[in-house]
Amino acid sequence: MAEYEDPMQDGEYEESGYQREAPEVYRRRRIIAVILALLVIILVVWAVVFAIGKVAASLGGGGASSSSSSATDNFASFSARPTSSASASGSASASASASPSGSPSGSNQPSASGSASPSDTASPSPSESSAEAAPAPKPSEPAKVEACGSNIQVQAAVDKKTFGPGENPVMTATIKNTAQNPCTMDLSSAKVTYDITSGPADVYSTNNCGPATAPKEATIQPGASETTSQSWDRTINSVGCGAASQSVQPGYYWLTVSVNGVPSERQPIVIQ
């Protein structure tokens, strides 16, 4: 392909007075034109957004004003409720206007008119109403007293550990109420049993032929205790009562007390 040849030589450009511009100049002009076009686009977009915001604000303000005006119109026909200050001022003005005045007939009696406004009447406060409506507290009922049953703790004791000839042991039973409420207990021999053993052998029991006692009712408070005592005549009644009973021999014995089927721990008795 043949190269393009400029029909005008460099000398001819100079002679005609036209100088050819460099490519960098054209590039700078294009960049400036692009920047200006972008600025114009940004200004147009901003103007459109601003116009839309103004239109929306005007529409919103009109709706609020119309709603407020309608609300005002709806309540324009209502009159304000008279207050105590207004009633007082009205009564004062009425009484002032009704001051006594001289009349040709000579009547000097003052004419005064007084009226009580509804706001002056006393109305009960909410606290007073609630106090009147609240029922009076009922007195607490006493706890129901029932039989102790097995809600007890039994402890056996002897007046001393060793007994010489002719000394009869005195056995004591302590019954403690372990329930939350008071309970009743029969402390007679019908409910309290004293048993004496020696090894595996039964020696003495108040259930065999011990002295019968009358009922002895006692009320035991929660956590409180009651005691009852019984003496042992040092006889063996497991083989018979009265003449058939035998005297115990010197040795070691054990006492156990049972109340309502609840046994105590064993306590030692030494007979000399």
Q: Give pLDDT, residue 174.
A: 96
Contact 269, 158 (CB under 8 A): yes
- pLDDT tens digit string along 51-79? 998 888 888 755 545 555 544 555 455 45
214 pLDDT band (50/70/90 cuts)? confident
Q: Is pLDDT at 139 greater than 70 in this prediction?
A: no
Q: Give pLDDT, residue 122.
A: 52
Whether the model pTM is above 0.95: no
Q: Give pLDDT, residue 213.
A: 76
Q: List the one residue out of 207, 142, 217, 234 whose CA is nearest residue 175.
A: 217
Reported for 247-252, long-range contacts at CB under 8 A and 24+ positions apart, including other chains, are 248/203, 248/204, 251/198, 252/198
Q: Is pLDDT at 117 greater than 60 in this prediction?
A: no
- pLDDT tens digit string along 152-202? 999 999 999 999 999 999 999 999 999 999 999 999 888 899 999 999 999
Please give the average per-residue pLDDT across 229-252, as a whole number.
Answer: 89
Residue 247 CA, distance from chain mean position: 69
Q: Is pLDDT at 125 greater than 80 in this prediction?
A: no
Taking phi over 0 as left and psi of -120 to 50 as alpha, with beta for the rest, 261 belongs to left
Q: List the one residue out of 245, 243, 216, 215 whose CA is nearest residue 232.
A: 245
Q: Give pLDDT, residue 102.
A: 41
**How far is Cα 112 from Cα 110, in angstroms, rounded to an integer?**
6
Task: Write the DSSP string, the chain.
Answer: -PPP--SS-HHHHHHHT--PPPHHHHHHHHHHHHHHHHHHHHHHHHHHHHHHHHHHHHHHHHHHHHHHHHHHHHTTTPPPPPPHHHHHHHHHHHHHHT-----TT------------GGGS----HHHHHHHHSPPPPPPPPPPPEE-TT-EEEEEEES-SEE-TTPPPEEEEEEEE-SSS-EEEE-STTTEEEEEEETTEEEEEHHHHPPP----EEEE-TT-EEEEEEE--SEE-SS-SGGG-EEPPSEEEEEEEEETTEE---EEEEE-
